[in-house]
Amino acid sequence: MRLGCGFIKNVVNVSRNMVLAPKHQLYRYQILPQEVNLREKLRLVALESYLLNVAGFAAQENGFGSMGMIERGVTWVLSRLGVEMTSLPNQYEWISIETWVQDYGRIATVRNFIIRDSEERVIGYAMSQWALIDINTRRPVDLRNYPEFTVFATGETVPITPPARVPVLDDIPVVGEHKVVYSDIDFNGHTNSMKYIEWMLDTIEPEYHYAHQVRRFDVNYVHEITQGQTAVLLRAEHEGSMVFEVSNGETVACRAMVHWLENE
């Protein structure tokens, strides 16, 4: 067991009752006060952060983490993520996230997640798609150039639909702007993935957040926004969901779609 950064990670003995399938990895988190909303439930931005951190930990342990890949001139980028939650855990609750690689193709790899509460009940699933890009050209790299990683693909899926292609809407209204600053940027030199979600959700009134929780969330990352640029935030209702778009004023960087449920 190892401590650090607000989490405890224990691959072998997270639970005496849980047996992991081959090539699956398990991580535990305690939900801290800065990660919850007005109802003291885990925020969507914090949940995505957990998932991406878990993906990073698992990749690192398997020999293809970001730091090692950067030394080889390439880096992982998230292209799509789909999350479905039946409930959201509470402040200070411990949750576990199980992860594994489903598929390793030519231009994308698929990593799945199961989210469980402190009683080991499944409360959510997630599916992510990742690409490998050249750190200089920012262009995708053929994953077949790294055949040693194919052994981690299990072919095992999760019982949700894959990350959706978020619809492109006409005449979607602008609801806000954000000047990209130093704290928005990650080690790749572009806006951190969670920041897009944070900006989008901040365009919604707190009263709506208090009365609703996320049921399904899909995000597509299509371009980079860098420090000094202004992110233009757009939002519209579409077939019972909220559709968001973030651009730099010319090029779309990110689209997302959220389906909400009213809180009881």
Tens place of pLDDT per residue across the chain (264 aa): 233 333 444 333 344 457 888 999 999 999 999 999 999 999 999 999 999 999 999 999 999 998 899 999 999 999 999 999 999 999 999 999 999 999 999 999 999 999 999 999 999 999 999 999 998 998 999 999 999 999 999 999 999 999 999 999 999 999 999 999 999 998 778 899 999 999 999 999 999 999 999 999 999 999 999 999 999 999 999 999 999 999 999 999 999 999 999 988
d(CA 213, CA 44): 9
Q: Do domains 2-152 and 174-262 have the same CATH topology?
A: yes
CATH number for domain 2-152, candidates 3.10.129.10, 3.30.1180.10, 3.40.50.2000, 1.10.1240.10: 3.10.129.10
Domain 174-262 top-level CATH class? alpha beta
Q: Where are the domains of the chain?
A: 2-152, 174-262
Extended strands (E) in the chain: 2-4, 7-9, 25-30, 74-85, 94-104, 109-116, 122-134, 174-179, 212-221, 230-238, 241-247, 252-262
